[in-house]
Amino acid sequence: MRLYSIAIYLFLYVPIFIIVLFSFNAGRHASELRGLSLQWYGKALANPFVVDAFVTSLVVALTVAILSTLMGTAAALALQRLKGTLRILFDGMIYISIMIPGIVIGIATLVALVTVFNFLNPLLASVWPEGVKPLKLNMGYATVIAAHTLFTMSLVIILVRARIVGMDRTLIEASTDLYATPWRTFYQITLPQIFPAILSGFLLSFTFSFDDFIISFFVAGANTTLPVYIFSSIRRGITPEVNAIGTMVLAVSLILLMTAQYLLHARTNR
């Protein structure tokens, strides 16, 4: 069994190793190794479009994570009180937003929003005050954030709800018996207990949004997220610059993880 696990880890890491190795390629083509150099890291960092794409991905992912955590937690709490058809309806929609393939929602959102914008933009232009440039609705930051949040919000609802279901109700009862206000009960009893679910929801939402390609490909408009940039790099003739980007993202994630691990251990002191 141990041997098997080692084999699996090898399987997982050989491509990663190749990616990192080729990021140090002194040659131009990503398929032939010609000596080692750091040139591609320099080129990637100096390329304003790489930096742009990275920042865009970061901003979008953070916004998505925050929005979906807030809305999802609120919804999970509120859904406890819902019964009957309304409850079934909501459950259904949560279920569908998770289950719908990214490509379908990406395309459907693009088609729907383009149609709506084409309809609204002339209207806006006609009612807009003279001399001021009219507001033009376009695909961009807002649309890609909104599209990602649909999926991640439902994810958060599921995670938090599972945790709420497994919670100890007696503590809540005790709290209200002791005359605590609902807010206080929530803040001091409920929240700490569901916090792990909220945190994992936040992290998962961030990861999903940051790495998403399919939905961003369709609805991001002129803005490029990092995965979309990498895709068009691959299209135009892949250079080791892409490997450098991938390695850097990996390195940053590992560092963040180490920090989180350290902080967690320092806090809980197991």
Q: Between residue 5 and residue 34, which ones bind another protein under the rule CB under 8 A?
A: 5, 8-9, 11-16, 18-19, 29-32
CA dist list (Å): 44 to 41, 53, 125, 181, 246? 5, 11, 41, 54, 10
**Binding status of residue 114 toward another protein by CB under 8 A:** yes
* Distance from C-alpha of 13 to C-alpha of 258, rounded to nearest angstrom: 19
259 is a site residue for another protein (CB under 8 A)? no
Contacting range for another protein; rule: CB under 8 A; set: 34-42, 58-66, 125-133, 180-188: 180-188
With binding defined as CB under 8 A, does residue 132 bind another protein?
no
Please list, in sequence order, all residues whose beta carbon lies within 8 angstroms of the beta carbon of residue 149, skipping any fewer than 6 positions away.
Answer: 64, 67, 68, 71
Q: Determine if 243 is a binding residue for another protein (CB under 8 A).
A: yes
Single-letter amino acid, residue 6? I
Return the number of other C-beta atoms located less than 10 Å from residue 8's C-beta.
Answer: 10
Residue of 45, 138, 142, 193 that binds another protein (CB under 8 A): 138
Helix (H, G, I), strand (E, B) or coil at 269: coil
Site for another protein contains 194 (CB under 8 A): no
- Count the neighbouring beta carbons within 10 Å of the beta carbon of residue 176: 13
Cα angle 13, 15, 20; round to 5: 90
Among the listed residues 95, 119, 195, 262, the single contact to another protein using CB under 8 A: 95
Say if residues 248 and 230 touch (Cβ distance below 8 Å): no
Is 240 among the residues that bind another protein (CB under 8 A)?
no
Choose the binding region for another protein from 34-42, 65-73, 125-133 (rule: CB under 8 A): 65-73
By beta-carbon proximity to another protein, the closer residue of 126 and 170 is: 170
* Shortest reach from residue 38's CB to another protein, in Å: 18
**Which of 192, 153, 193 has the alpha carbon at shortest distance from 66?**
153
Q: Does 96 bind another protein (CB under 8 A)?
A: yes
| Total chain residues near another protein (CB under 8 A) | 110
Name residues contacting another protein, limited to 31-60 (CB under 8 A): 31-32, 47-49
Q: Does 84 bind another protein (CB under 8 A)?
A: no
